[in-house]
Chains A and B, each alone.
Chain A
């Protein structure tokens, strides 16, 4: 029975959800659309027929399809391998898989070039270079590899929610092979989580910019986002600025076409109300399988995270690009260039901003997931995906157009931009775990006299704590090294860490930018380790 307090809580939830969606997402999107319509509708035909436009749209979709097609199976495979509690060093692997999340986008491309391109690390060490890294294949591989941790997280939450080890064991006992069990039981049960991961990766890749720009441009590979960047670069000409906003609006429409049907479909499929059994007794393969799995995982992680990270650290430690990274050439200069009193101040601000953004996003993500089963809730979840797909620069422009008059140069406008860009990233992992909620337990609490808030706080929240911690950490890490939006929105007294480094050196001085990412990695490793310990406690 609905109590007066419950109605109040629901009302507050809807108010926060709709108010925030309006302020954070709808206003900037509408401002972009307004600019595009009022100033650019006369040029729409020209934008659509400009040489290379069709190719760029095709490239964007091909890249999204390829990255999704690569990242989702790899992420599922890793999640399944790491599901086995008897896997040697499982705790360590679980952390290692998340390493790509720590590397900022703007150095990701460089780290791969330094690792694999002509005259790169593999060339120095083994005489082997991967020439294809600079081109469409390289872009797809790098984007996919950086998306794998996200797929892994979503599938892991899915496994915790949906897997049925008892049925799997029964199938094993009846003589089914591991592959048959996977094909006929595990994967079908995981289907909604897989679909969620696929949508998130597809959308994220549509909006990705830094890797296509650094790795794709030399091979003549342009996407919608690289064209938006090129238009903004010549944005001193009002026509090209408006063209950039038109391209951004087109990207939003294309995303809507892809995401809205998928979300409606997923929304229905996610409405299950049972809890799964614990996976502690999950049957794993034979001895050979158990030995091969860590080997495969190690090879994958060394190739995709190890070598690029070593390349990054060596760039940060070496006095110049192109000299061998031997002790004679090691220097702390790049770190000293990053560690100045100004960067110290900016670091404090960045930590505070990221903490604030991640904490607000946690609340917003929770409310969106909680109310996401209604048609209006699903509408909001589609809406917040639209700012995830926009390149950071256009989100920032939307914010300036909407709020620049009052909030220009303040920390508040940067915070709003972070909320807009990362809301979907916070919401999706939480949303994928809400049907773990035991409605029976919740009903029992209510029947015993607990109001909705107490029921949610004592029964629901503890169960989805791993998903909450995951969402918070994802947002905190992403916000900490964000540079595109901050560099457009900052003002005196609101510089973030990445902005200060960008301004002192541009991003062209790779030694300094590599030092920045090593520093950011070090800064987040400590809280990440603490969070990981918390997650373990929460799961125990």
Chain B
């Protein structure tokens, strides 16, 4: 065998080993559940560790991606053999409602004291995002949302990209955004882009989620976080069990755990706002006002709302 051919054979064998050797899932599905989520590792990893500690022998396989990738993954699963997740932990109720409508998840929720406004017969809210105002140090923080338009160069996140931004759009209505636009506001992609832009000084103020704003402030960025009246817009991230799960008991155990006092405490101590009352969470001023959009109405009017919005900030 010539040297070139030997090299080629070795490469081919190596690649074959690489692809086949790595192709086996770490553990069989019967011993474990697969969790799909858009929540980042800072929160989800401690939750999985705590759940495994409380349920000896349980394995949780994780697929974590931003909402867009997560949706694409679910849609691709559905078209290639069925949903491969046993539990989904989404970042907003509209995404989860779409999964319920398609018959992918739901039909069961655990017993819990989480407020009814964040529960349906198919899913339960287990973590909250708050849409707050962020201003660059030196700029006056808006006391109410109407003042945001006069806070200098303002940035808002895209409601077509971030569910939290859609929640805010549903609460404020399009007139609010038309006012912002007329005073020079721009739309960026994600709430994190707003935070970065304001911290860097590209913008003077903006609308972003509390976790992102407080993380920037904590690391030393020159920003101020405020909860303008009538309140920060609250968006809940729900959990639901797959209808086709082959390990229903473990999947339900996981959903029960994350809605329990113990699970909520882990969520609260790992960077996310818990939904169970009186469980401590990340920074939130005392008596900080919060408001919620009408999620049921929004689910049916989302398309029309986004169409109106597109006439303001473009499509």
Contact = CB atoms under 8 A, between A and B. Distances in A.
Q: Are A and B subunits of one complex?
A: yes
A228 B11 CA distance: 37
A491 B63 contact: yes
Given A359-B11, A404-B81, A323 B18 contact: no
A407 interface: yes
Nearest to B186: A218
A364 interface: no
Given A217-B188, A220-B313, A491-B25, A397 B196 contact: no
A139 to B, nearest CB: 14
B307 interface: yes
Interface in A450-475: 457
B195 to A, nearest CB: 7
B315 interface: yes
Interface string A4-42: 000000000000000000000000000000010000000
A286 interface: no
Interface in A47-68: 50-52, 55-56
Contacts of B252: none
Interface in B205-237: 212, 215-216, 219-223
Nearest to B15: A356
A237 B98 contact: yes
Contacts of A352: 18
A321 B314 contact: no
Interface in A227-247: 227, 229-230, 232-238, 241, 244
Interface in A370-426: 393, 396-397, 400-405, 407-412, 415
B77 A319 contact: no
Contacts of B90: 236
Interface stretch (B66-74, B111-119, B257-265, B277-285): B66-74
A412 B215 CA distance: 37
Interface string B46-86: 00000000000000011111111101111111011100100
Contact of A236 (B74, B81, B215): B74
Contacts of B24: 410
A321 B221 contact: yes
Residues of A contacting B: mostly: helix
A360 B16 CA distance: 11
B315 A400 contact: no
Contacts of B4: 457
A393 B200 contact: no
Contacts of B136: 322
Nearest to A508: B192
A415 B161 CA distance: 28
Contacts of A415: 18-19
Contact of A320 (B11, B74, B220): B220
Given A235-B68, A491-B25, A401 B76 contact: yes
B182 interface: no
A207 B170 CA distance: 32
Contacts of A400: 73, 76-77, 80
B160 interface: yes
Interface in A489-540: 490-494, 502-511
A155 interface: no
B223 A235 contact: no
A237 B300 CA distance: 12
B314 A412 contact: no
A496 to B, nearest CB: 12
B179 interface: no
A222 B73 contact: no
Given A411-B19, A412-B22, A320 B199 contact: yes
A233 B71 contact: yes
B304 interface: no
A488 interface: yes
A146 interface: no
A360 B13 CA distance: 12
Contact of A113 (B25, B200, B220): B200
Contact of A321 (B2, B191, B199, B313): B199
Nearest to A214: B189
B71 A494 contact: no
A411 B94 contact: no
Contacts of A405: 80-81
Contacts of B72: 232, 235, 241, 244, 393, 396-397, 488
A319 B77 CA distance: 40
A322 B223 contact: yes
A232 B80 contact: no
A114 interface: yes
Contacts of B315: 50-52, 55-56, 222, 227
B9 interface: no
Contact of A488 (B69, B188, B216): B69
Contacts of B189: 213-214, 217
Contact of A411 (B8, B23, B79): B23
Interface in B8-39: 8, 11, 14-15, 18-20, 22-26
A510 B190 CA distance: 13
A411 B24 CA distance: 9
Contacts of B191: 508
A401 B68 CA distance: 17
B307 A494 contact: no
A298 B215 CA distance: 39
Contacts of B192: 506-509
A119 interface: yes
B19 A508 contact: no
B63 A119 contact: no
A487 interface: yes
A306 to B, nearest CB: 20
Contacts of B314: 52, 220, 222
B65 A488 contact: yes
B246 interface: no
A290 interface: no
Given A218-B188, A415-B19, A491-B25, A404 B76 contact: yes
A444 to B, nearest CB: 20
B310 interface: yes
Contact of B202 (A119, A219, A323, A487): A119
Interface centre among B14, B66, B200, B307 (most CB of A within 10 A): B200
B200 A219 contact: no
Contact of B221 (A244, A323, A401, A488): A323
A329 interface: yes
Contacts of B212: 508
B290 interface: no
Nearest to A131: B202
Nearest to A485: B69
B61 A411 contact: no
Contacts of A114: 200
B41 to A, nearest CB: 5
Interface centre among A110, A502, A506 (most CB of B within 10 A): A506
Interface centre among B15, B76, B191, B201 (most CB of A within 10 A): B76
A321 B200 contact: yes
18 contacts: A117-B200, A119-B200, A236-B95, A319-B220, A320-B199, A322-B201, A322-B221, A322-B223, A329-B220, A401-B79, A409-B25, A412-B23, A487-B69, A488-B72, A504-B42, A505-B42, A506-B40, A506-B66
Interface of A: 35, 50-52, 55-56, 110, 113-114, 117-120, 134, 213-214, 217-220, 222, 227, 229-230, 232-238, 241, 244, 319-323, 329, 349, 352, 356, 359-360, 363, 393, 396-397, 400-405, 407-412, 415, 457, 487-488, 490-494, 502-511
- The 8 A-B pairs of least Cβ separation, nearest first, read A508-B192, A119-B201, A52-B315, A400-B76, A235-B71, A404-B80, A233-B68, A236-B98
